[in-house]
Amino acid sequence: MEDSVKKQAFNPYLPSWEYIPDGEPYVFDGRVYVYGSHDKYNGHVFCLGDYMCWSAPVDDLGDWRCEGVIYEKTADPYNKEGKMCLYAPDVVKGPDGRYYLYYVLDKVSVVSVAVCDTPAGRYEFYGYVHYEDGTLLGERGGDEPQFDPGVLWEGDRIYLYTGFCGQGDTSRNGAMVTVLDTDMLTVKEAPKFVAPPEWKSGGTGFEGHGFFEAPSIRKIGETYYFIYSSSVMHELCYATSRFPDREFTYRGVLVSNCDLHIDSYKPAEKPMAYGSNNHGSLVEIGGEWYIFYHRHTNGSWYCRQGCAERLERSADGSFSQAELTSCGLNGRPLKGEGEYPAYLACNLFTEEDSIYVGGGRFPKIMQDGRDGDEEPGYVANMEHGATAGFKYFDCQGIRRVTIWTRGYAKGVFEVRLVWDGPVVAEIPIEFTNVWEPYTAEVDIPDGIHALYFTFSGDGNASLRSFRLET
């Protein structure tokens, strides 16, 4: 791939063979750090790996560096044999200048804490969040199970946000906030509820977007932004308050990983990708706001990759929902020339609409090899009517398009600039067991465009990449 393309920022922002969902982004000392859980390619459940960290300079969001393993799952005394998974974490810089990592194991409903002197060094187990009498938070009578911690430090108070409430579960009461002392462990104020689940949302303003999981907290100016995954799972929503522990008002959807609700380029309720659960948060980088989230690959719930989109923030502090793109952290359209890998597809769909991950029925992003193999991703399972979409490109004088495909398939890839628009090029393909290039003439007007590739024909094709040429 050309150097000019390599220097750009893409979605997903990490290499295609890395699976870091649940991303919590922070800026420390001129670098963006992302903390998340760690899925495995072809994993059978969520979060099988140790905690990794990746970072990038704030002025070059296409230059991500792997900081390595920052915390092994066997470091927790409850998990010496490594039989439990490390669920979604959060990190906060504490009053002592050290960095504290909060997490929950998959079968222990208490909050564990690890600590490190640097943002991305080796974290060491520090303790469990507990009441003054030593009882662990989550084990006192009346406590709800702890899940998905999000943390904020202000003065002499540490605000810990937790909670989970699955669809149809009326035994849980929504997202909680617990105030901790500056030792980062001791409960100073018992949990109180700050956002309702769907079953308790009537008359609250949260109707249709009740709390499910993934609580995260940010403070912008004097306003607290509570970010969470709603009851429909595929969307990240937010609520705001003048206070960190009460009076949160629902404000809207930040991103949906199937692009529901967006009506700028298609009907609002038409899904343009296969979603499922979602988790992420806000960060300001270089004066721009971004929402970090994750997408699902390999036709699976358990194989998720980190993505990010730029957000528009209004004068009243509200955010508009972000549209799924391939350019994400680039902050602008990609260069409309050169070769791009197909795993950058932000839209994957067929003639059959589906909001949620559809297993073997639908096109999917996958890779050759096993987990840990640094093999580039591609789009597989392109049967008749399947479409892979990419957004956006600044095109100038483009006259040829080449695609690389393989598979037992014979037909045509139709190229469009709008998902349901006219065909601007037809690229015939044949059966091949290896990646083969196919080229067609194309007339793309100068300007910013999306690109959609729809397979029409027999069999099942895979799409590795495409190239735009003048």
Hey, is 344 helix, strand or coil? helix
DSSP-based helix, strand, coil % in the chain, nearest 5: 5, 45, 50
Out of 22, 24, 39, 235, the active site residue is 22
DSSP, res 385: T
Q: Would residue 373 show up in a list of annotated catalytic residues for this protein?
A: no
| 347, two tokens | 């839209």
Long-range CB contacts for residues 247-254, cutoff 8 Å, separation at least 24? 248/194, 248/195, 248/224, 249/205, 250/204, 250/205, 250/206, 250/209, 251/318, 251/319, 252/318, 252/319, 252/320, 252/321, 253/209, 253/321, 254/227, 254/282, 254/291, 254/311, 254/319, 254/321, 254/322
Active site residue 22: yes
199 burial (CB, 10 Å; 0-12 / 13-18 / 19+) is middle
Tokens read off for 468: 């735009």
Termini Cα distance of the chain: 17
- Beta strands per DSSP E along 165-269: 175-180, 187-195, 211-220, 223-230, 235-241, 249-256
447: β partners: 395
Omega into 341 within 30° of 0, i.e. cis? Answer: no
Separation between Cα atoms, residue 319 and residue 316, nearest integer Å: 9
Choose, from 18, 39, 198, 213, the residue flagged as catalytic: 213
Active site residues: 22, 213
